[in-house]
């Protein structure tokens, strides 16, 4: 990240002799987790989880973090970012120490992401036997006090509640050695800035800090400069890149045809055994679509962020266990839901920002699988469609007889009318 003052660039030629270059070398040769010098138990956890080769961000980040460097990594959901901070965490903490004061703190913007991280800790860290606790807004404070009294090695928390618990319990945090800000742009967007600064002020200077974010707005650069020590910036060209195996279809519709078009896609185009996520603009759209699909016996479930936590958990599990093949979500709710088997994404409402489009559709066609992203484009959404193509550097192709990727077309009127009547 050569061009942000205050950050070291891992690829800078003048750094050839320092630890950055030395440490990344073995991974260039071997390219695998085996060449990262990981301990046996950590490697066993990675193998058990089924990871064979590190993702690009893992290849860059893990060796630096193990070396003890502070890292700012620009990575989106689906890049394998969780393992980027958990593998070095397991290496640093090594064994469970059952005394007061956690040694690692992971701050997440949402409870879903925090619970997802906890799941990764249990799976990837299966053989490290470290104890983790979650401190999340909405859960019982008493349970959280006793979780802290259980002397966890790792705390995964949302910032507001964590700070509250720190104040109530007069926690000093001076035993924290390793801190992660996950989806840091979202942490700030959700208004946790003040709490984050409060938490940072309580942390010891000697800690190692990692910050993961899809975007790096100025406010975050300032936060990283103040809170991290000589951080290395790791940036892959992720923002404007789509998975290579992903096909994009854009479907021009009139406003009143939107639901009928969705039904045509779900009934005529997509195999009912496939897993599909439908992105809708608001929780009201989500509820409306859920009712409509239920009426038509299309197996579906839904999540939006103001849904109560246990219902969200149940619905997410329904989808990930394949009991429902369609999951209807809002963007905020979709954060942190881990769906490795996703086949299709449907943008019921077109995202207003190109980056959001990349975020949404990047959830399918992961790890070598293929996938299709269908987007319904109403008359008032063409501007966003054009903006997206400028952002992606792709030409906009209006459909002709040969069906290609990245095209814009219409659904046959007879099919739409059939669904419209339903």
Residues that bind ligand AMP (CB under 6 A): 51, 54-55, 58, 77-83, 338, 340, 367
Residue 273 C-beta: closest distance to ligand AMP, Å: 20
Distance, in Å, from the CA atom of 174 to the CA atom of 92, rounded to the nearest integer, reads 16
Closest CB to ligand AMP among residues 82, 213 = 82
Closest CB to ligand AMP among residues 96, 119 = 119
Q: How far is CA 223 from the centre of its chain?
A: 21
Distance, in Å, from the CA atom of 343 to the CA atom of 353, rounded to the nearest integer, reads 23
Residue 54 C-beta: closest distance to ligand AMP, Å: 5
* C-beta pairs of 251-256 under 8 Å, 24+ apart in sequence: 251/374, 251/375, 251/376, 251/377, 251/408, 251/409, 251/410, 251/411, 252/377, 252/408, 252/409, 252/410, 253/376, 253/377, 253/378, 253/410, 253/411, 253/416, 254/378, 254/379, 255/378, 255/379, 255/380, 256/420
Residue 74 C-beta: closest distance to ligand AMP, Å: 13
Residue 51 C-beta: closest distance to ligand AMP, Å: 4
Q: Which two tokens stand for residue 99?
A: 């005394």
Closest CB to ligand AMP among residues 59, 389 = 59
Residue 276 C-beta: closest distance to ligand AMP, Å: 17
Distance, in Å, from the CA atom of 406 to the CA atom of 177, rounded to the nearest integer, reads 47
Closest CB to ligand AMP among residues 134, 163 = 134
Closest CB to ligand AMP among residues 80, 371 = 80
Q: Give the residue from 223, 219, 195 showing the smallest Cα distance to 209.
A: 223
Number of neighbouring beta carbons within 10 Å of residue 296:
13
Residue 381 C-beta: closest distance to ligand AMP, Å: 28
Residue 174 C-beta: closest distance to ligand AMP, Å: 29
Closest CB to ligand AMP among residues 81, 312 = 81
Closest CB to ligand AMP among residues 30, 340 = 340
């Amino acid at each position: 990240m050569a061009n942000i003052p205050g950050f070291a660039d891992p690829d800078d030629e003048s750094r050839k002799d320092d630890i950055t270059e030395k440490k990344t070398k073995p991974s260039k040769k071997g390219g695998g987790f085996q060449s990262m010098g990981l301990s046996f138990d950590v490697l066993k956890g990675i193998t058990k989880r089924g990871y064979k080769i590190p993702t690009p961000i893992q290849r860059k980040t893990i060796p630096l973090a193990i070396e003890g460097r502070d890292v700012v990594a620009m990575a989106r959901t689906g890049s394998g970012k969780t393992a980027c901070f958990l593998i070095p965490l397991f290496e640093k903490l090594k064994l469970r120490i059952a005394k007061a004061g956690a040694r690692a703190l992971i701050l997440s913007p949402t409870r879903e992401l925090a619970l997802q991280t906890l799941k990764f800790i249990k799976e990837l860290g299966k053989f490290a036997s470290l104890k983790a606790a979650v401190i999340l807004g909405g859960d019982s404070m008493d349970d959280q006090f006793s979780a802290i009294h259980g002397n966890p090695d790792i705390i995964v928390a949302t910032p507001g509640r964590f700070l509250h618990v720190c104040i109530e319990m007069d926690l000093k945090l001076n035993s924290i050695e390793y801190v992660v800000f996950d989806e840091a742009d979202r942490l700030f967007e959700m208004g946790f800035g003040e709490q984050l600064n409060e938490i940072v002020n309580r942390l010891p200077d000697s800690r190692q800090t990692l910050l993961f974010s899809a975007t790096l707005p100025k406010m975050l650069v300032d936060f990283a400069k103040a809170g991290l020590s000589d951080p290395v910036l790791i940036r892959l060209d992720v923002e404007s890149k789509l998975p290579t195996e992903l096909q994009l279809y854009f479907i021009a519709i009139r406003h009143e045809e939107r639901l009928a078009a969705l039904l045509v896609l779900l009934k005529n185009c997509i195999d009912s055994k496939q897993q599909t996520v439908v992105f809708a603009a608001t929780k009201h759209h989500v509820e409306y679509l859920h009712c409509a699909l239920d009426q038509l016996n299309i197996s579906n479930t839904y999540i939006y962020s103001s849904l109560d936590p246990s219902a969200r958990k149940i619905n997410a599990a329904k989808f990930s266990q394949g009991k429902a093949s369609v999951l209807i979500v809002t963007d905020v709710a979709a954060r942190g839901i881990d769906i490795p088997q996703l086949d299709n994404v449907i943008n019921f409402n077109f995202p207003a920002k190109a980056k959001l489009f990349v975020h949404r559709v990047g959830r399918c066609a992961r790890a070598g699988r293929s996938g299709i992203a269908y987007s319904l484009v109403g008359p008032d959404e063409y501007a966003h469609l054009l903006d997206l193509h400028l952002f992606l550097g792709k030409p906009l192709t209006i459909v002709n007889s040969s069906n290609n990727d990245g095209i814009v077309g219409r659904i046959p009127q007879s099919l739409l009318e059939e669904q419209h009547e339903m």
